[in-house]
Chains A and B, each alone.
Chain A
């Protein structure tokens, strides 16, 4: 699930909640989903600094990431 998808979904939820004819149960469920997605999306915002890596293709067709020494 990408950040993009989460944020777009949250935007949809906000629009949905703006509409008055949402039953209260649905409104609460939408709100909870929005908060959950926001939590997922925000997880990437607080992780440690990522390193620079180098893609290496193995002879068996697999891939590994090695640290890149500049």
Chain B
């Protein structure tokens, strides 16, 4: 059933010969298919073997009749035998419970279909019933196709998500922090939408000093994805902004679909400025939400994420000032404490040193004292000395009748040697 790229014209092509001229009253035929000759002159084509018509003629006529009888209409059924040809055209059967209809969807008509359908999918198609003369089949030329439910949208989103993930664009590590106190915030959205007015209201209430810059873009309908991608690129080239919000208010799934465009998601992922995505309401999660640095549930929430409450920032600045001052005061205080500690230590050191020295003197004096002969005298001993003060320590130092001095604890006594008695075996003995 392969065929060329040429699309059949929606209406019957003019035929050289009209088998059943449309609009004329139908004729009556005889029992053998032969119309009674009218005035014996005109013989109806195909009414006799002699006037047999060509296959082309009958199929072309059938095509003209079918196309004339049916306008384009929506038909529902289940897809089967789905095939994509090299030309890009789709061929499939639309099945009911007990009937099927061959369908073709040309590549040029597939743009509005979010993803390639699959066998078993319940769909509705907008199509022109026709006959394809080359194969003699009754078929339908489909120009729009929608899945029942969100099958195709889901599939398209899943596929695009998988591609973005494969390229690493969904990595949590890619997420940048949103500047806490931006000077300027760009908002990519429709100037007419409620979203922009919500964002202005919230941002001006929280932080009226922040400049809001609208970057107008088409957010839905034909050309919206391209326009959104252009706006992102435009903001990036401009660059004089701290944060970018991209989004729109809630709407039907088709209205939000531009934010599921892979091209828009990739442009957003490539944005060098931190991004906040806010598309629709809480439940709507788009590709843009997945790649943005921050996903806000609503445009108002995006505005809250983009700017702080000015009063809180002011309070923070004041507390910073206090913290700085206190830190410096503590620095000085610590130094004063240290000086005092050192001074105290010094005083203690001096005192302790003096004590130590005095203890040492006492110890030495004690030792000196112990060694002094005076101490020996104090214990009751006496020392004998001659006139010149030389100690007489041995019996040999004495001679009979020699005078000597005896040094005692409390003075001295002049004495005279009467006799000398050396002890046996010794020559050196104190008196």
Contacts and interface: CB of A to CB of B under 8 A. Distances in A.
Contact of A17 (B213, B320, B330): B330
Contacts of A11: 320
Contact of A68 (B186, B204, B214, B332): B214
Interface in B278-336: 310, 313-314, 316-317, 320-321, 323-324, 327-328, 330-332, 334-335
Contacts of B179: 2-4
B328 A17 contact: yes
B274 to A, nearest CB: 11
Contacts of A50: 184, 208-212
A2 B210 contact: no
Interface string A19-57: 010101001100100110010011011111111111101
Contacts of A18: 327, 330
A31 to B, nearest CB: 4
B213 A53 contact: yes
A51 B63 CA distance: 65
A27 B214 CA distance: 45
Given A45-B310, A50-B212, A54-B216, A7 B316 contact: yes
B206 interface: no
A45 B209 CA distance: 7
Given A17-B327, A17-B330, A47-B209, A52 B214 contact: yes
Contacts of B334: 20
Given A49-B208, A50-B210, A55-B214, A70 B197 contact: yes
A45 B314 contact: yes
B374 interface: no
Nearest to B325: A31
Interface string B169-183: 000000000011101
A7 B179 CA distance: 12
Contact of B320 (A38, A44, A51): A38
Given A3-B181, A31-B328, A63-B238, A38 B212 contact: no
Nearest to B230: A57
A56 B237 CA distance: 12
B103 interface: no
Interface residues on A, range: 35 or more
Contacts of B316: 7
A38 B317 contact: yes
Interface in B224-274: 234-235, 237-238, 240, 242
B203 to A, nearest CB: 9
B363 to A, nearest CB: 42
B407 interface: no
Contacts of B310: 45
B324 A13 contact: yes
B208 A14 contact: no
Contacts of B320: 7, 10-11, 14, 34, 38
A53 B324 contact: no
A48 B211 CA distance: 10
B121 interface: no
Nearest to A18: B327
A55 B213 contact: yes
A35 B317 CA distance: 10
B331 A4 contact: no
B212 A14 contact: no
Nearest to A47: B209
A53 B327 contact: no
Contacts of A44: 181, 183, 209
Contacts of A24: 331-332, 335
B209 A35 contact: no
10 contacts: A2-B181, A10-B320, A31-B327, A31-B328, A44-B181, A45-B314, A47-B209, A55-B213, A63-B240, A70-B200
Interface of B: 179-181, 183-184, 186, 191, 197, 200, 204, 208-216, 234-235, 237-238, 240, 242, 310, 313-314, 316-317, 320-321, 323-324, 327-328, 330-332, 334-335
Given A34-B320, A55-B214, 10 more contacts: A2-B179, A3-B179, A10-B320, A17-B331, A18-B330, A20-B334, A44-B209, A53-B213, A54-B216, A61-B237
Ordered nearest first, which 4 A-B pairs have the shortest CB separation?
Answer: A17-B327, A50-B211, A3-B181, A49-B208
